[in-house]
Structure 1
Amino acid sequence: HPATGCFLAVKESRGRGWWLPAGHVDRGQTFAEAARREALEESGLEVDLVGILGIEHTLKGLPGEEEDARMRVIYYARPAKGRSDKPKSKPDEESDGAAWMTIEQLERLATKPPPAGLRGKELLRWGKHVEAGGPVFPLALIGEESQGPSLSLASTAESASCGVQRGVLANHSSR
C-alpha cells in the first residue's frame, strides 16, 4: 500500500496459509486481466497494475513425453484509484480473507507453518525486493501477441527501477 508501506496478503482457503493474490489465466484472458480478476476475487480489492516484478517459464515433462509448460508473471500493483483499499474479511470460496501486512509481520508468519503462517516464502521475498528498491519492469515488457514487441529490453531495464512504490503483489500463471 503506497500510503502505509504494507503488502497485501491473502489467507488461502483449506488451511494453506498466507500467500500472494494468485491464480490461473482463464481462456481468452491476458495475464493482466487475470491478475486484476484474481486480486479482486481473493482480496476484495480492485487494483491498478504498476509493473512486473518477475516472469518465470518452466518446461515440465520427460524426454519423449508430451511437454507441459507453465509461465508465471509476478505483477506489482496498488489499490485502484478512487476505490476502497480495505481487504475483505469474510471467508468465501476464493479465500478466507486478506490483510495489509508489514515486512516484519510477514517475517513472523514465515516462522509458522500453515494455516497460521505463510504458504511459502515468495510473498516475503517479493516484499523485501520491493522494499529494497529492486527493479519493477514496465507492463509493456509483456505485449499481447497481436501487438508484437513494444520495447527493447535494454531500454526497459534502464527505466525499471525508477519510482518504485510498495503495494500489492500479484502472481498469475498460465499452463
Structure 2
Amino acid sequence: MPRAPVPSYYFALVVVRRGDRFLVVREVKHGQLWYLPAGRVEQGESLFEGARREVLEETGIAVELTGLLRVEHTAHAEMTRVRVFLTAEPVDERPPKSTADEHSLEARWVTLAELRALPLRGDEVEELFTAVERGLPVYPLSVITPEGAPWR
C-alpha cells in the first residue's frame, strides 16, 4: 500500500558576518525577540533565492551567500522540516533597516558581547555565532545543487 506524501518545509537560516559583527533581526513574531535572519523558502523558489530574500526582507541588507554550515532534517508524523544554515557577507556597506514592517521590527550588527545583552529567541543564536567565530567548518555552496547537475 502506498504511503501518503508528507508535506516538507524548507527554512534558510543565514549567518551574515562582517568582521567581528553578526547581523541579527528583531522579529515581529516569536515574542519580538532577536534571532538570525531566517525564514521559509517559498514555493517555486530555490533555497539560495529564499535565503537572500529573507535576509533582504528582514534586515534591508543584500548579501552574497558564501557557504553551508549544516542541514538539519526533522521528521514528524504530519510534516517534515529541513533547516539549512548558510553563511553570507553583505554586498555593500548600507546600514540595516531601522523601520519596522511586516517582516521585522529592526536589524543590527552586533558583536558576541553585544548579542549576549539582547533578549534572544533561543540559545542556538549565541552558540552558532560562537562556533562560527571559532572556525566552525564551512562547506562550499556547490554541495547543494539542482537535480541533473553534472558530477565533477
So what's the TM-score if we normalise by structure 2? 0.83
Structure-1 separation of matches of 2:37 and 2:65: 13
Shift of 1:149: 5.5
So what's the TM-score if we normalise by structure 1? 0.72
Shift of 1:68: 1.4
**2:124 equivalent to 1:122:** yes
Structure-1 separation of matches of 2:150 and 2:112: 38
Overall identity of the aligned pairs, in %? 43
Match of 2:145 in 1: 143
Structure-2 separation of matches of 1:21 and 1:73: 12
Three-state SS of the structure 1 residue aligned to 2:104 is coil
**2:49 equivalent to 1:33:** yes
Unaligned ranges ≥5, structure 2? 1-16
Structure-1 separation of matches of 2:94 and 2:122: 25
Three-state SS of the structure 1 residue aligned to 2:93 is coil
Letter in 1 for 2:84: V
Letter in 2 for 1:96: L
Match of 2:100 in 1: 91
**Which runs of structure 2 are paired with 1:9-158 in the superposition (5 Å)?**
9-14=24-29, 15-61=31-77, 67-80=78-91, 83-109=92-118, 117-147=119-149
Unaligned ranges ≥5, structure 1? 62-66, 110-116, 151-175
What root-mean-square deviation, in Å, do the aligned CA atoms of Structure 1 and Structure 2 show? 1.5
Shift of 1:134: 1.1
What is the aligned length? 135
Give the 3 Å change call, closer, same or farther, for CA 149–72 of structure 1 in structure 2: farther
Letter in 2 for 1:141: V
Structure-1 separation of matches of 2:124 and 2:69: 12
Shift of 1:108: 2.5
When you count strand as a share of all residues, which structure comes out higher? 2
Shift of 1:147: 1.7
Structure-2 separation of matches of 1:104 and 1:149: 43
